Structures are given as structure tokens and as C-alpha cells.
Amino acid sequence: MGPVEAAAGGEAPAAEAPAAVLLDPVAALAELAPLGADPVRGGWSRHLFDDADREMRAWFVRTARSLGLDVEVDRNANQWATWRAGGAAAPAVATGSHLDSVPGGGPLDGPLGVVSGLAAVARLQAEGHRPDRPIRVANFAEEEGARFGVPCLGSQLLAGDLTAERVRALTDTAGATAADVLAGAGIDPARIGPDPDRLADLALYLELHVEQGRQLAPLGHPVGLATSILAHGRWRVTLTGRGDHAGATELDSRHDPMLVAAAAIRSARDRAVAAEPGTRSRATVGKLHAVPGGSNAIASEVTLWLDARAEHDADVRALVAAIIGDVEAASAAEGCGVVVVEESFSTRVEFDADLTDRVAAALAPRLGDVPRIPTGAGHDAGILAAHLPAAMLFVRNPDGVSHSPHEGASDQDIRAGVDALADALRALTSGGAA
């Protein structure tokens, strides 16, 4: 109840009633399960403003409103749900994650953080917590970059890490530009870009995410805290040759870019293995597109995407330079052409040590000494970390598999994650803590 309503009632204001809704994260995830289920790849495919993503975003609005939160969409297509209990005007304590997925991804990468954020708010409402500042839950747009090739699109635009011109011109595999797709969803493409006011209205960002990798299970802990994110980037490598007949063309007269692609894939593994173990280097070709793509035709062009990661920026640069050197040598030997475009590069991220310590202290009564682990996966929290205090909570993933339908966490651990997030948000919004 706000002060105006209380005055209009002419009576002493009653204590604010706890929300009638308690959001069970396991039930909420079950509710989302049919959305974007991919009958071809298996798992879930939810890409920026496709039907599944729109349904996920509608679920976010509905669920946030059912908790009495104010919902807005920012100029970069990110959704925000704010609990303004008490009307405090201080910058918000923010949490959340993303609702989009990789093609054929798992059920938790992204949605777990958004669902847990809303569930934690519902929990705090029900227990009568009065936050001393707003608590805000985010759904960041196109975190996986599955539609337009650039990860953390919404948070990078918000933070000013990408130019609006570049983003407007991005195209999806069907040839639609980001400008057209955004406009079709009611986002004015002329207004995308840095949003310093919105950023300044955030005191900190604490993202909860399913663990990617398997570090918590051997330690016997349901929840961990992130220390850092590996430096990482994506490169698009276009190999051109000469399309021809698979049967009629003599072997010594071929210019087959698929052979060069094979060398690139092999090199990615070999160069990563050969790098210093301390650099935690890894390189992957997970996507490849051949033109014309006939089983009885030598390809005229092959495009592949190289994902490379390592502890430090220079390690990634050295790894990619070595792989590209191998690709150029293989290309010269086959008489093919090579064009390499850097689609994204994210520098190494260190999460805020002070915020991480405060979250650890808030978790200690329930969970004891929570492990702190590095991660090889990129996150919106990593983008925001350059602009405001940011930290991450990970929920145990027993097999460590992610970006796959086999990704998982137990119901018990999912609920433990919400407990942890609620404990952290309560502590960060009590007594001027943020």
C-alpha cells in the first residue's frame, strides 16, 4: 500500500500484506518447458524474438506482474521487473539472467537465473522483508547470440560495448537484419545503444546461473560463487574454393574448402592442447556452413565459426593467431582463399571481490563456506562487471554438461539456489548495505 492510498483510506495503514503468490522455481521451469522445445535438434531453441522467445518474454511479464512488480522493456530489448517496496529511490540491487538459448540448448542456461530471481523476490515479499532500495530482475536479450552471432547483445548495447550501427546491420541466417527484427518487436532500432541512466540506476548485479562445467559436484556443494570468466571470442572464417562435381573432378585439380575446414577443426584442438596448461586454453569449431551443401558436390565456399577461450586476453590472441596460421597454410596448399572476421572479443573478467565476500557472508548461515570457482562461459554479469559491482552464483550441475539438452540440476539444488539468492538479496537490501 502506498502513502496516497493509505491517506485516502482515512485509517492507519495496515501492514503490507505478503504476496499471495509463492513462486516455486521447479514448477515455473516446468511451465516453461513446452516453450521452444526443439523437435529436430532436441532440447530447446529460443532465439531473439522468435515465437518461443516471445512466449518466454510474455511469461516474464505475466509472472512479474503477478508479484506486483513494475515491468519495462529498455531501448535494447532487455526486460526489467522492479519491486519498489517502500518506494526507496536509491539505485536498485539487480539480479536475473536470460531467457534465450543456444540452438538445441538445455532447460536451465538462462531461465534458471530469471526464474530464481522472481522466486527469490516472491520469497522476500512473503516473509515481509522491506528492502531499503528497489530489487530488479532482468531478462537480458540475445545473451547466447544464437540469432545474430554476437553474444550478450542486450547487455553489451546497454553498456555501450557495441555500436548501434553495427548491431542494426547484423543479419540472421534468413537474411533479416537486426534493425528489422527489433522494429517488428516494437523496439525502435534508431534508439538502441548505450543507456547510461539505466546503468546508473543499478547499484550492483548478482546473476544466478546453472554451473557450466563440473566443479561443484566433487566438492559436495549445491551452490558456488564465481571468481572470473576466461577471456573469449568468436571468429568467422570464410574459405573459398571452386565448386565442382564430386565424381567428375580429378583429385589433383580440386580447390576444396572443406579440406581446409578440416585442417581448421584439427588445428583448433591441437593448438589448444599445445598451449601452456596454465592458460586454460580451449578452441572449438561448433558450427560450419557449406555452399552449395550437396552431398555429391565439392563445396565452393565453407564458413566456420571458431570459438577460442583462455585465462588471459593475450593467451586467446596467441591461440587464434596460431590456428589462423595453420588455416592459411592449409588454404594455400589447396589453392583456396581465407577471410577471417572477428565477430566478438570479451576480455577476461574478474568479479567484484567485495560484493562476492558480502554474498558469501550472507550464504554462510545456510550453506557454510561456499566454494569459489572460475568459469569458461561468458555471461551478462561479465559485461556489467566493467561498469558496476557484479558477482555470480552457480547452481551445481551434476554432469557439468551445458549448451545441450542434457544440462541439469536436481530439484533440491534448484531450490537451494533460490534460498541462496534470497539470502543474498535480503542482506544486500538491508540497512543501507548496497
Residue 329 CB-half CA count within 13 A: 9
Q: Which cell goes with 80?
A: 526489467
Decide whether 109 or 352 has the Cβ nearer to Zn ion: 109
Closest approach of Cβ 97 to Zn ion, in Å? 6
Q: Which cell goes with 428?
A: 544486500
**What are the angstrom distances between the C-alpha of 194 and each of 64, 108, 159, 289?**
25, 29, 6, 33
Closest approach of Cβ 125 to Zn ion, in Å? 26
Closest approach of Cβ 426 to Zn ion, in Å? 24
Q: Which residues contact 212 (CB under 8 A, 6 or more apart)?
A: 109, 375, 376, 377, 397, 400, 402, 403
Closest approach of Cβ 155 to Zn ion, in Å? 11
SS3 at position 82: strand
Q: How far apart are CA 359 and CA 226, in angstroms?
A: 11
Closest approach of Cβ 41 to Zn ion, in Å? 18
Q: How far apart are CA 385 and CA 376, in angstroms?
A: 16
Decide whether 311 or 380 has the Cβ nearer to Zn ion: 380
Q: How far apart are CA 120 and CA 418, in angstroms?
A: 6
Question: Binding string, 224-263, against Zn ion, x = CB under 5 A?
Answer: ----------------------------------------
SS3 at position 217: helix
Closest approach of Cβ 46 to Zn ion, in Å? 12
Closest approach of Cβ 99 to Zn ion, in Å? 10
Decide whether 52 or 164 has the Cβ nearer to Zn ion: 52
Q: Please give the radius of gyration of the chain, using alpha carbons only, rounded to the nearest integer.
A: 24
Q: Taking CB under 5 A as the criterion, which residues in 116-155 touch Zn ion?
A: none
Closest approach of Cβ 348 to Zn ion, in Å? 18
Decide whether 110 or 371 has the Cβ nearer to Zn ion: 110
Closest approach of Cβ 361 to Zn ion, in Å? 26
Q: Indicate the residue whose CB is closest to Zn ion.
A: 109
Q: Which residues contact 375 (CB under 8 A, 6 or more apart)?
A: 212, 213, 226, 228, 229, 230, 392, 394
SS3 at position 318: helix
Question: Binding string, 84-123, against Zn ion, x = CB under 5 A?
Answer: -------------------------xx-------------
Closest approach of Cβ 282 to Zn ion, in Å? 17
Q: How far apart are CA 14 and CA 21, in angstroms?
A: 19
Ramachandran region, residue 368 (left: φ > 0; alpha: ψ -120 to 50; beta: rest): left
DSSP character string of 227-249: EEE-EEEEEEEEEE---EETTTS
Decide whether 109 or 334 has the Cβ nearer to Zn ion: 109
Decide whether 82 or 101 has the Cβ nearer to Zn ion: 101
Decide whether 144 or 423 has the Cβ nearer to Zn ion: 144
Q: Which residues contact 126 (CB under 8 A, 6 or more apart)?
A: 18, 19, 22
Give the burial string for 35-61 (b: 16+ CB within 10 Å, else e): bbebeeeebbbbbbbbebbebbbebbb
Decide whether 110 or 134 has the Cβ nearer to Zn ion: 110
| Residues in binding contact with Zn ion, number by CB under 5 A | 2
Decide whether 231 or 323 has the Cβ nearer to Zn ion: 231
Decide whether 109 or 307 has the Cβ nearer to Zn ion: 109
Q: Which cell goes with 202?
A: 543499478
Decide whether 338 or 401 has the Cβ nearer to Zn ion: 401
Q: How far apart are CA 79 and CA 433, in angstroms?
A: 25
Closest approach of Cβ 227 to Zn ion, in Å? 17
43 makes contact with Zn ion (CB under 5 A): no
Q: Write out the residues near Zn ion by the rule CB under 5 A.
A: 109-110
